[in-house]
Amino acid sequence: MKRVIGIGGVFFKSKNPAGLIAWYEKHLGMKPTWEGGVVFAWKDGERRDRDGQTVWSPFKADTDYFEPGCEPYMINYIVEDLDALVDVLTREGIRIEKRENFDFGRFAWIMDPENRRVELWEPPRKPAG
């Protein structure tokens, strides 16, 4: 079973998310895809049933989205099969903090040994046809 197959996003705290996004757009050409950051779209020949993307997004400095982690950032990892991975991690003694499903994918959160919140993301598959 494949576990992590890519980086889905990099999320970090910022004193001024909108200003930082504007700076990156002006100086590095990273055009915001939505008000919260940039989505870099890509294709993966091995996973033709899914579009690939990596999100870059600054959060407000006082966000609690990374809690109970203690770091000012969180990395989102793309997984092939969230249910299978959650089953394996549970058998390995890893506590699943939370799970959620959205139109843009399925998520689970765990903590690494150094108290960083880890976000696992299974993107939606394209409809057949």
Q: For residue 66, give the CATH number of its domain.
A: 3.10.180.10
Number of H helices, E strands in the chain: 2, 7
Q: Evaluate whether residue 129 is within a structural domain.
A: no
Query: What confidence tier does 127 reach under pLDDT thresholds 50, 70, 90?
Result: low
Question: Contact at 8 Å (CB) between 86 and 101?
Answer: no
What is the span of the domain harbouring residue 47? 4-122
Q: Does residue 11 sit within a domain?
A: yes
Q: What is the mean predicted confidence (pLDDT) over 61-90? A: 96
Q: What mean pLDDT comes out for the span 66-85?
A: 95
- Average pLDDT for the chain: 92
User: In whole angstroms, what separates CA 63 from the centre of its chain?
Assistant: 16
What share of the chain has pLDDT > 90, as a percent? 81
Q: Are 83 and 37 in contact (CB under 8 A)?
A: no
Please report, for residues 12, 23, 47, 67, 86, the alpha-carbon distance to residue 61 in angstroms, rounded to integers and kept in the order given: 8, 17, 35, 12, 30
- CA–CA distance from 3 to each of 78, 116, 122, 125 (Å)? 9, 18, 11, 17
User: Would you say residue 114 lies in a domain?
Assistant: yes
Q: Looking at residue 113, what is its pLDDT?
A: 92
pLDDT digits (tens, 9 = 90+) for 25-59: 999 999 999 899 999 988 877 777 777 899 999 99
The pLDDT assigned to 112 comes to 96
Between 82 and 43, the higher pLDDT residue = 82
Q: Identify whether 42 is part of a domain.
A: yes
**Cα gap 24→26, rounded to integer Å:** 6
What is the domain count for the chain?
Answer: 1
